[in-house]
Structure 1
Amino acid sequence: MNMPSGEEPDVLSRIRKFNASLDALIRIYTSGKSSSTEFARIVTKEASSLLNAQRCSAWSLTPDNKAIDCVALYLANEDTHVSGLKLSADDFPGYFKAFLAERVIAANDAETDPRTSEFAATYLRANHIVSMLDAQIRSAAGPRGVVCIETVDVRRAWSPDEMAFAASIAELLGISMDREDRGRVFGQLEDINQQLSDAVEKTRVANERYDLAIDAAYDGVWDLDYVTGQVYFSDQNFQLLGESHEHPPTEFDWWQDRVHPEDIDGVLEYYEKLVQDDNPYNVTYRMRHEDGSWRWWRSRGKVVRSDTCEPIRIVGTNSDVTDLIETKTELEQRNRELLIAKQNVEHAALHDSLTGLPNRRYMEQVSAENLQQKLGKDRAASFLHIDLDHFKDVNDMLGHAAGDTVLCLVADMLRELSGEGDFIARIGGDEFVAILQDLPTAERSIAFSEKLITQLSKPVFVERRSVNIGVSIGIALSEGHVNDASNLLRNADNALYQAKRSGKNTFAIYNEKMRIQAARLRATKEEIQGALEDGISFIPYFQPQFLAGSLELAGAEALVRWQHPRKGILPPGEFLHIAEEMNCVAEIDRQVLRKSLAIVSDWREAGLVLPRLSVNVSSQRLADPGLLFSVEGFEDQVSRLSFELVESTYLDNTSEQVKQTLAQLQDLGVEMEIDDFGSGYASIASLVNIRPKRLKIDRTLVSNVDRDDAMTSLVQSIVDIARALEVEVIAEGAETASQIETLTSIGCDILQGYGLARPMSAEMFLETYGMQETASVASQR
């Protein structure tokens, strides 16, 4: 059974409801009145209500990542919470691997989804659970648990805004857990501090009692005759040093020879002052024990004077205070360690654990006054919002470890470029902020941006692989004074968007026009979100492909179009770059692929057998293991399906996950094409590794192929290489009869371009080619 994924038919209203709920939850969190467990109960009940899910739970991951403990499971039918459940990675290894690797698991059919199917026998069927939406609870230190949203007896097709809401509440729970951990650490540190304070106080009291005991019993008594220099030492003095004497020494040298060389001068100086000033004698120093060790002694005494005030004797006591000194030293060391621990906790709360830079929280806590104090009087400030251009491709194709390496390299570059008084922060993902001392003309921020762009325009080497990144920068000026930091960052963000629209790897300075553009962008993003929700707005158009020479229909390429309610049919150039920012290109790919396969199936029933369907596949989709399930239900068409790998820039550095996905697709019968060949960095070695069925020559090479001999030779060389590797060649962008003739003569197998046919709707394609003979039909004669 299928049903709409939310109660509200209006997508924007539902999104506003989600946002209002998140605002309310954030207010509850910031009030600080709820523990993480209480907060989890509030969140799970709210999520159950908003998502119309009968079960919603929050689970905490054990430190060894081997199990999850149920913090709160809300049962809507009973309006109650339960806890105490535990799931082990040994019992459900596939699920643990999935939720630790993916931020969101949307299992519309939990029993068949490979990420959740392990639960079928023991959990799903027992509780009548049909669909699951799980989001990873994550903190700065890594995964902390998972939020599980489950429907009973009803199958749900989870929408992107529901997935985003699940991810948002999971993030809130992670922040809540972090705060409670920090509070627990601070509490433990305060307990230790109190214990240390109590120990110091007890030591002080014990010391006073010890002093009183010494005054009464004397550990070691000594009596110096000031006139003769002879000294009486009681036996206790010798016992303190592990000595025994049949005839106890009476010379002053016995004592002096045993004082530590580093202490003797200070002790004798103190002794002289005692005689001169008549102050009480109280000094601590080290004495050599018979076993070679050093013991701490405290000597106290007073001068006995004659009637004429001349010193005649000095009497006193010696005490072994080694334990006391060592305890004091240990307490001082523990106090230092406590201070360092507090500083580390405070630093971790305000800094990015990967790069060591201040984090978003730190930046938001920096007030306007503090910024002005940092920058100095009569100094302007500029906010730079910095975003890496192709960072997601690095993560998708090379893995998160490579991405982390790139982030650290960029952080080091920013540190080197910044000066005294500047503020650099990483505010999330591949985003950084630089707050610079500047002049009203923005000279510093422009120079800063140009240097960073120059550095990141060069290939970056990660794990002995060359990676091309690039950076876009938005600049906002404070116009002579530091005003609200959030407004400046918002302006810099608008400028960043303009920089990306200008072709990336550049910078833009904020102006008022950008505010209007930003408002339009927000509206467009909401419309794209709505289009994804309704599932019907993104549709495929089909551009025919023809056999060179005979010009028989050889196939078609599916190209996405947006069926906009007001603007009509929009090409990808109008919206795809915005979808990339929203990280929803993979979902658009998925919808277009499923619709294309369904249309081709309908054509077959109508009598048109398409020889081959080519579909663009983004790097996001290549890195998604769920790509394999996208052809489910269309097994009869798989042998006629071809995926175009559009990110040829990274084919030489493809991750093992992507290679495995490609191999599995090829095993199913899906063919591979390398798109835009000749425009990027794909090497001939990549043709061997990927084993494509065909490659598509980039239109920039085709445009002058009939007028430029060098270009003709270049295209001929590509065709020759393809022939040697038994790879077919498609020439894209054939616009004129002359180009078509040249491309045919040099051996291209298939032609595509406006000179032959433009992209068209499914209905027009069937009407145009439904009665024509295709290459596949001709080949059967």
Structure 2
Amino acid sequence: MENKRIWTNNELDDLLRQLNVALEASGIGIWQHNLRKNQTRWDEQLQELYGVPKGPTDVVWLECVHPDDRDAANAHFEKAIENREDYASQFRIIRQDGSIRHLRSRAKFFIDGNGEPCFVGAEWDVTDDVMRSHQLAEEREAADQSRAEARYAADHDHLTGLLNRRSFDAICASLAKRGELDFVSLCHLDVDNFKEINDRYGHACGDVVIAHVASILKQASRPGDIVARLGGDEFAIVSMDRGLNAMEKIVAEIRAELQSPVLLNGKNVVVTCSMGVAQTSASDVTGLLACSDLALYEAKRNGRNRAEWFSPAMAAASIAEKHILYELRSAITNGNFVPFYQVQVDARTRAIKGLEALVRWKHGEELKPPGAFLPTAVTNGLIDEIDEIMLRLVLADLRRWQAEGFALPRVSVNMSASRLSDPDLEEKLKRLDIPAGQVSFELVETIFLDELTPEIRANIDAIRSLGIEIEIDDLGSGHASLLGLIKLRPDRVKIDRQLILPMLDGLPQQRLVAALVDIARTLDMEVVAEGVETLGHADVLASLGVDLLQGFAFGRPEPAHVVEKRLEKRHTTAPTGSRASSARRR
């Protein structure tokens, strides 16, 4: 029996040693707490976990728990004591060396051999697990954030933060499927002359303008409205507010806010927009953008900086314009254009000093005037090709007239603003072998010439180096900038016909024309008056110092074979220093 007891004790000692080794290897510390005596016994492993080499009965637990975790950890223990139930908690401790560790604690309630209530528990360091969990949570959060940012980037314009075209189309498609939708209005707008803004101030300033307009649209929109940047300088606002009045208020607010200038390269610039508005009382949202686009086109054609509302008549006009565009492209390919010439006479001698070349479209048996097709050509980017065709035709007429012995006047032809930015313009003109002093280029759309880009300035210098003079149209109309005149110094300017026609009504109008003549004289420019319909107009203009007169009083636009009968026939050409005038298309 004694041997059995000794064997049992030995076996128990072995088991205890194995348990101690296992506990030491696992890093688990053991504690026992006597509730009646309020005594806690820690083993060495637990003391090492806490970093508190204190006596076996010292109560040090709460002193070591992190202040932020102390109340919760103690509450868990007190609840276990009160309910005589098992205890489980996790908390942070602050070791004496200042390091913070995360511990997990588990305990069982029991009654010991003396009948006293006790807890026996184990605690182990889970700091690495907690840190790993935190890291994984942060990585998941970062991944979620990255996915959210990717979704946002996919749906929004990076510059303005507005919805992009893809997202806008998706929302409109979704709206079309909503059966309860009974009213939608859409405002489609773009920035007037945005290309010129980029050319004049640079693309960075162009971005400032886009952000400026986007901010105004956000401010003008109402909760629930859809605001998007469709691309470039195009924007759209969709409103589900019933009645067109809601969109009218939005448009009015946009136009009012656009009056506030934006700073571009140190200059305060007022940006304007053209707007087209369409509405539907059903769920036909998909066709709404096309309707608003037609209204936007109408706003641009009517002078820009305005809003137009879609009407069925616009759709009919669009169909007609597409037909014109198709025929116009064919006419360009086949060269179905012919120059007509209108004479310009000396204001004092009434001798012919120049001609203006005016384009006509040979359309079957009909000759279409410029107003019937040039707006379509300008809007659809065909004007440069027509200008070049006209220049070639004029040069052919000049060569023929020279061969036939006519005294050649200087002929003015149009040069669109977009051609002035063509990097190959000089080489193209050289290939045409234009006789020096015989041709003058009239620049149209000159409002942006007050800030000449390096490309435009280089092309203007090249034009002059080829013996081609420069003219500016519409002086006094607001389209020709006085600042642009000072910087460009054209050879001649044309006073707008709208100022000429009412001249006989009184002195104020005559004084205005006289002031424009004085400006031109100061800048050493020749002055042409267009729209001279009576000899009375001619006499007054001559007295005011105008150099050349052009208008029905001296001749309507005529084909080459008719106008040549009015030219002086001689065997020598006119001196290269003789003046001629320009005329714009009409």
TM-score (norm 1): 0.65
Match of 2:432 among 621, 631, 634: 634
List per-residue Cα deviations over 1:167-203 (Å, max 9, x = no partner): xxxxxxxxxxxxxxxxxxxxxxxxxxxxxxxxxxxxx
Partners in 2 of 1:420 and 1:779 — Cα distance?
67
Alpha-carbon contact 1:396-1:623 (below 8 Å) kept:
no
Match of 2:449 among 651, 669, 678: 651
Match of 1:260 among 52, 66, 76: 66
Which residue number in structure 2 is paired with residue 433 of structure 1?
A: 236
Partners in 1 of 2:405 and 2:95 — Cα distance?
107
**How far does residue 323 in structure 1 lie from its aligned partner after superposition?**
2.1
Which residue number in structure 2 is paired with residue 352 of structure 1?
A: 157
Partners in 1 of 2:326 and 2:199 — Cα distance?
26
Q: Which amino acid aligns with 1:602?
A: R
Unaligned runs of 5+ in 1: 1-212
Alpha-carbon contact 2:489-2:523 (below 8 Å) kept:
no
**How far does residue 309 in structure 1 lie from its aligned partner after superposition?**
7.7
Which residue number in structure 2 is paired with residue 690 of structure 1?
A: 488
Partners in 1 of 2:98 and 2:499 — Cα distance?
88
Match of 1:275 among 71, 77, 81: 81
Q: Which amino acid aligns with 1:224?
A: H
Match of 1:403 among 206, 217, 220: 206
Partners in 2 of 1:323 and 1:622 — Cα distance?
70
Q: Against the structure 1 CA distance between its residues 326 and 726, is the aligned structure 2 distance closer, same or farther, given a 3 Å change threshold?
A: same
Which residue number in structure 1 is paired with residue 336 of structure 2?
A: 537
Asked which structure has the greater RCO (Cα within 8 Å, sep 6+), the reply is 2
**How far does residue 419 in structure 1 lie from its aligned partner after superposition?**
0.8
Listed as ranges, the matches of 1:459-474 within 5 Å are 461-467=263-269, 469-474=271-276
Alpha-carbon contact 2:446-2:481 (below 8 Å) kept:
no
Which residue number in structure 2 is paired with residue 326 of structure 1?
A: 131
Partners in 2 of 1:460 and 1:382 — Cα distance?
29
Q: Against the structure 1 CA distance between its residues 329 and 411, is the aligned structure 2 distance closer, same or farther, given a 3 Å change threshold?
A: same
**How far does residue 639 in structure 1 lie from its aligned partner after superposition?**
3.8
**How far does residue 779 in structure 1 lie from its aligned partner after superposition?**
6.4
Partners in 2 of 1:617 and 1:466 — Cα distance?
29
Alpha-carbon contact 1:278-1:302 (below 8 Å) kept:
no
Which residue number in structure 2 is paired with residue 33 of structure 1?
A: none
Which residue number in structure 2 is paired with residue 38 of structure 1?
A: none
Q: Which amino acid aligns with 1:477?
A: Q
Partners in 1 of 2:563 and 2:314 — Cα distance?
41
Q: Against the structure 1 CA distance between its residues 779 and 545, is the aligned structure 2 distance closer, same or farther, given a 3 Å change threshold?
A: closer
Aligned: 1:751 with 2:538: no
Which residue number in structure 2 is paired with residue 699 of structure 1?
A: 497
The more displaced of 590-599 and 686-695 is 590-599
**How far does residue 261 in structure 1 lie from its aligned partner after superposition?**
0.9
Aligned: 1:364 with 2:173: no
Which residue number in structure 2 is paired with residue 518 of structure 1?
A: 318
**How far does residue 701 in structure 1 lie from its aligned partner after superposition?**
1.9
Q: Which amino acid aligns with 2:79?
A: K
Alpha-carbon contact 1:393-1:619 (below 8 Å) kept:
no
Aligned: 1:335 with 2:335: no
Partners in 1 of 2:484 and 2:93 — Cα distance?
77
**How far does residue 476 in structure 1 lie from its aligned partner after superposition?**
2.5
List per-residue Cα deviations over 1:381-425 (Å, max 9, x = no partner): 112232444334334444433333322222222221111221122
Alpha-carbon contact 1:554-1:776 (below 8 Å) kept:
no
Secondary structure class of the residue paired with 2:128: helix
Aligned: 1:233 with 2:42: yes
Match of 1:550 among 341, 349, 363: 349
Listed as ranges, the matches of 1:77-156 within 5 Å are none
Secondary structure class of the residue paired with 1:735: coil
Alpha-carbon contact 2:189-2:296 (below 8 Å) kept:
yes
Partners in 1 of 2:476 and 2:247 — Cα distance?
36
Match of 2:523 among 711, 714, 725: 725
**How far does residue 583 in structure 1 lie from its aligned partner after superposition?**
2.4
Alpha-carbon contact 2:473-2:480 (below 8 Å) kept:
no
**How far does residue 428 in structure 1 lie from its aligned partner after superposition?**
3.0
Q: Which amino acid aligns with 1:431?
A: E
Alpha-carbon contact 1:275-1:311 (below 8 Å) kept:
no
Which residue number in structure 1 is paired with residue 250 of structure 2?
A: 448
Partners in 2 of 1:559 and 1:350 — Cα distance?
49
Computing the radius of gyration from Cα coordinates, the structure with the larger value is 2
Match of 1:391 among 162, 184, 194: 194
Partners in 1 of 2:202 and 2:412 — Cα distance?
27
Q: Which amino acid aligns with 1:753?
A: G
Partners in 2 of 1:455 and 1:615 — Cα distance?
40
Which residue number in structure 2 is paired with residue 16 of structure 1?
A: none
Secondary structure class of the residue paired with 1:486: coil
Match of 2:359 among 557, 560, 566: 560
Alpha-carbon contact 1:612-1:642 (below 8 Å) kept:
yes
Listed as ranges, the matches of 1:51-70 within 5 Å are none
Partners in 1 of 2:578 and 2:382 — Cα distance?
40
Partners in 1 of 2:261 and 2:376 — Cα distance?
26
Q: Which amino acid aligns with 1:533?
A: T
Partners in 2 of 1:622 and 1:562 — Cα distance?
24
Partners in 2 of 1:506 and 1:396 — Cα distance?
23
Q: Against the structure 1 CA distance between its residues 309 and 382, is the aligned structure 2 distance closer, same or farther, given a 3 Å change threshold?
A: farther
Partners in 1 of 2:539 and 2:235 — Cα distance?
52
Alpha-carbon contact 2:299-2:308 (below 8 Å) kept:
yes
The more displaced of 635-644 and 618-627 is 635-644
Which residue number in structure 1 is paired with residue 31 of structure 2?
A: 222
List per-residue Cα deviations over 1:348-370 (Å, max 9, x = no partner): 22323332222222222225654
Aligned: 1:613 with 2:411: yes
Alpha-carbon contact 1:296-1:325 (below 8 Å) kept:
yes
**How far does residue 268 in structure 1 lie from its aligned partner after superposition?**
0.4
Aligned: 1:583 with 2:363: no
Secondary structure class of the residue paired with 1:420: coil
Q: Percent identity of the aligned residues?
A: 35
List per-residue Cα deviations over 1:141-178 (Å, max 9, x = no partner): xxxxxxxxxxxxxxxxxxxxxxxxxxxxxxxxxxxxxx
Q: Against the structure 1 CA distance between its residues 303 and 771, is the aligned structure 2 distance closer, same or farther, given a 3 Å change threshold?
A: same
**How far does residue 625 in structure 1 lie from its aligned partner after superposition?**
1.8
Secondary structure class of the residue paired with 1:435: strand
Q: Against the structure 1 CA distance between its residues 497 and 685, is the aligned structure 2 distance closer, same or farther, given a 3 Å change threshold?
A: closer
Alpha-carbon contact 1:631-1:638 (below 8 Å) kept:
no
Q: Which amino acid aligns with 2:59?
A: F
Which residue number in structure 2 is paired with residue 186 of structure 1?
A: none
Secondary structure class of the residue paired with 1:551: coil
Partners in 2 of 1:615 and 1:645 — Cα distance?
9
Secondary structure class of the residue paired with 2:188: strand
**How far does residue 674 in structure 1 lie from its aligned partner after superposition?**
2.1
Aligned: 1:671 with 2:469: yes
Q: Against the structure 1 CA distance between its residues 290 and 757, is the aligned structure 2 distance closer, same or farther, given a 3 Å change threshold?
A: farther
Alpha-carbon contact 1:214-1:319 (below 8 Å) kept:
no
Q: Which amino acid aligns with 2:503?
A: V
Counting matched residue pairs gives: 557
**How far does residue 274 in structure 1 lie from its aligned partner after superposition?**
2.2
Secondary structure class of the residue paired with 1:267: helix
Match of 2:184 among 360, 370, 381: 381
Which residue number in structure 2 is paired with residue 496 of structure 1?
A: 296
Q: Against the structure 1 CA distance between its residues 663 and 337, is the aligned structure 2 distance closer, same or farther, given a 3 Å change threshold?
A: farther
Aligned: 1:251 with 2:251: no
Secondary structure class of the residue paired with 1:625: coil
**How far does residue 676 in structure 1 lie from its aligned partner after superposition?**
1.0
Q: Against the structure 1 CA distance between its residues 367 and 672, is the aligned structure 2 distance closer, same or farther, given a 3 Å change threshold?
A: closer
TM-score (norm 2): 0.85
Partners in 2 of 1:309 and 1:695 — Cα distance?
118
Aligned: 1:285 with 2:94: no
Alpha-carbon contact 1:355-1:408 (below 8 Å) kept:
yes
Which residue number in structure 2 is paired with residue 122 of structure 1?
A: none
Which residue number in structure 1 is paired with residue 558 of structure 2?
A: 760
Match of 2:283 among 476, 482, 486: 482
Alpha-carbon contact 1:424-1:432 (below 8 Å) kept:
yes
Structure 1 stretches of at least 4 aligned residues deviating more than 6 Å after TM superposition: 213-216, 777-780
